[in-house]
Amino acid sequence: MTRKILHSKIMLIFLAIFLVFFPLTINMPDQTQQYSVVLGVGIDKKGDEYEVSTQILTSKSNQGFLESLQVHSAKGKNMLDAVEELSLHLGRISGFGNTSAIVFSEEVAKEGIAETLDFFVRSKRLNGNPFIIVTKENSKDLLSDIAKIDESFNYSLNSLAKLNQDFSLGTIITLNDFLNNYYSKTTASVVSQINQTNQEDEGILIPETGGGQSSGGASGETSSSSGGSSSSGEQEKKVVSNKGKCSLFVGSKQVAVVDPKTVEGMNILQGSKRNYFTITNVTDEIYHNATVVMSLKSSQKTRRLTFSKNGTPRVLYYVNYILKVEQILQNGVDPILLNGSNNYVTPTLVQKTKDQILTYAGDSVTFFKGYNADVYGLQLSYYRHHPKKWAEYLKTLPDKSQAFQNIEFYLDIEIKGNL
């Protein structure tokens, strides 16, 4: 067998290749020595310079997950200079393939973020589709705070963006979604906001100490998160909070902050699913000035695009909810023992729920029309499904860019109880 191998030219070639490359392969450095694993990116502006911060995972056998999370930052006249400066500071190439979120400070968001996102896409530095997040504070500090949260919470930037106990989801937007809306020239974007507060019940408490999570600047200095020290324990508390507020972007720039109820109205019309409804001051034959919590068992939402006789676009929304009463809170009255065979969704409760939905949806439409912000993507839908009528409608307008503001909205709601 050995003699056959030695007399086979092909086998000799394979053997030579093996002898040459095997030692090189086993002595190659780990990729983590060449690339830094970036989980989150923060973009701030310091004067005329960009400051790029990265939340980096450095795995070592003697460290836990959180101990290996560090935030490093660098400055540059543009994004490319800042990223390259950061790589020089770390001694490794910044690897953005595992990045789950890109955070912008409001200062940067008001100037515009499309070019920055376009930089990541065109430079092929991102392999995934990260979430876009805005913060009123410094994005570098937010990355540092997230790194300090105990691992038992299992929170990251993208999971915290989804965590909103008061209102439904639907404000999560990815890099691709934002750029698609931006290049459409008509569709506006609503981006989730994560901010800092000192109220423990509004979010996740940040530990005071987070050994190993300091932020290293490109010049080698070490800095801690913002939020000045104080002798008062209450003032020293830092909480990362998502209460449903969002940033409204028209084009590339943030133009307004959207309150949670307006966001919820948008979610209702867009078809985003919410988990429950809370209705207050319910009074009828069952309830006595009660607060009623209902879970959403199923939902069906459709949208119909039409035109009035004079050619004005009309959008008709049909919403069908099946709700189940889960909890009843009322003072001074014997508690109601919920019986699974009874339907507690009374006509009064149905009407109050309809009124709440109509209020949220109506206020949402009024708000976004005020900024000429088509967050619903209606103009693209009309153009695709009714191109001739839409073109005729645009001809009647003195300013075609105001087309969204003249669209009429109608909402038909049906609510039933679940036994």
Whether 123 has a pLDDT exceeding 50, the answer reads yes
Residue 20 lies in a domain: no
Residue 401 lies in a domain: yes
How does pLDDT run across 3-21, given as a tens digit for each residue?
555 556 666 666 666 666 5
Q: Of 194 and 29, which is predicted with more confidence?
A: 194
What is residue 32's predicted lDDT score, i.e. its pLDDT? Answer: 45
If one counts the domains in the chain, the total is 2
Whether 39 has a pLDDT exceeding 90, the answer reads no
Q: Predicted confidence band at 308 (pLDDT cuts at 50, 70, 90)?
A: very high
Whether 23 has a pLDDT exceeding 80, the answer reads no
Examine the fold and report which residue of 173, 208, 241 is the final residue of a domain before the chain moves on. Answer: 241
234 and 365 inside one domain: no
Q: Starting from the edge strand earliest in sequence, which strands make up the sheet with 276-282, in order?
A: 276-282, 290-307, 313-329, 408-417
* pLDDT above 90 as % of the chain: 39
Range of the domain at 107: 31-241
CATH of the domain at 314: 3.30.300.210
Residue 19 lies in a domain: no
Average the pLDDT over each of 6-15, 159-168, 234-243, 330-339 and give the range with the smallest value. Answer: 159-168
What is residue 100's predicted lDDT score, i.e. its pLDDT? Answer: 84
What is residue 332's predicted lDDT score, i.e. its pLDDT? Answer: 66
221 and 266 inside one domain: no
Q: Which tokens sit at 63? A: 């460290």
Whether 376 has a pLDDT exceeding 90, the answer reads yes
217 and 338 inside one domain: no
Measured between alpha carbons, how far is 324 from 314 in angstroms, rounded to an integer? Answer: 32
**At which residue do the structure tokens 């507690």 appear?**
344
Contact predicate 108/165, CB 8 Å: no
What is residue 128's predicted lDDT score, i.e. its pLDDT? Answer: 72
* Closest CA relative to residue 198, chosen from 159, 163, 229: 229
75 and 192 inside one domain: yes
Whether 337 has a pLDDT exceeding 50, the answer reads yes
Measured between alpha carbons, how far is 219 from 368 in angstroms, rounded to an integer? Answer: 44
383 and 303 inside one domain: yes
Residue 84 lies in a domain: yes
Q: Predicted confidence band at 62 (pLDDT cuts at 50, 70, 90)?
A: low
Residue 281 lies in a domain: yes
Residue 284 lies in a domain: yes
Report the Cα 246 to chain-centroid distance in Å.
9
How does pLDDT run across 174-230, given as a tens digit for each residue?
899 999 999 999 999 999 888 888 777 777 777 775 444 444 444 433 333 333 334
Cα separations in angstroms, 28 against 22, 24, 25, 96, 307: 10, 6, 5, 22, 66
103 and 177 inside one domain: yes
Q: Which tokens sit at 23? A: 């030692």
150 and 211 inside one domain: yes
Cα separations in angstroms, 308 against 265, 305, 311, 366: 24, 10, 5, 20
44 and 193 inside one domain: yes
Average the pLDDT over each of 53-57, 136-140, 255-259, 381-385 and give the range with the smallest value. Answer: 53-57
First-to-last CA distance in the chain?
A: 78
Average pLDDT over residues 56-60: 66
What is residue 219's predicted lDDT score, i.e. its pLDDT? Answer: 40
How does pLDDT run across 242-287, given as a tens digit for each residue?
878 899 999 999 999 999 889 889 988 987 666 788 899 999 888 8
| DSSP state for residue 78 in the 8-state scheme | S
What is residue 82's predicted lDDT score, i.e. its pLDDT? Answer: 87
- What is the residue type of 281? N
Residue 386 lies in a domain: yes
Average pLDDT over residues 339-365: 92
Q: Which tokens sit at 309? A: 């006789």
Q: Of 327 and 160, which is predicted with more confidence?
A: 327
236 and 277 inside one domain: no
Measured between alpha carbons, how far is 385 from 305 in angstroms, rounded to an integer? Answer: 8
216 and 302 inside one domain: no
218: left (phi over 0), alpha (psi -120 to 50) or beta: alpha
Q: Of 412 and 155, which is predicted with more confidence?
A: 412
231 and 318 inside one domain: no
Is the four-CA dihedral 130, 131, 135, 141 of positive or negative sign? negative
How would DSSP label each residue in 230-278? Answer: -S-HHHH-EEEE--S-EEEEETTEEEEEEPHHHHHHHHHHHT---SEEE
**At which residue do the structure tokens 């109220």 appear?**
199
Average the pLDDT over each of 114-118, 219-223, 352-356 and give the range with the smallest value. Answer: 219-223
∠241-94-129 over CA atoms, to 5°? 55
Examine the fold and report which residue of 214, 241, 268 is the final residue of a domain before the chain moves on. Answer: 241
Q: What is the mean pLDDT of the chain?
A: 80
311 and 170 inside one domain: no
Where is 348: in which H helix or E strand? helix 347-370
Residue 252 lies in a domain: no
pTM score of the predicted model = 0.80
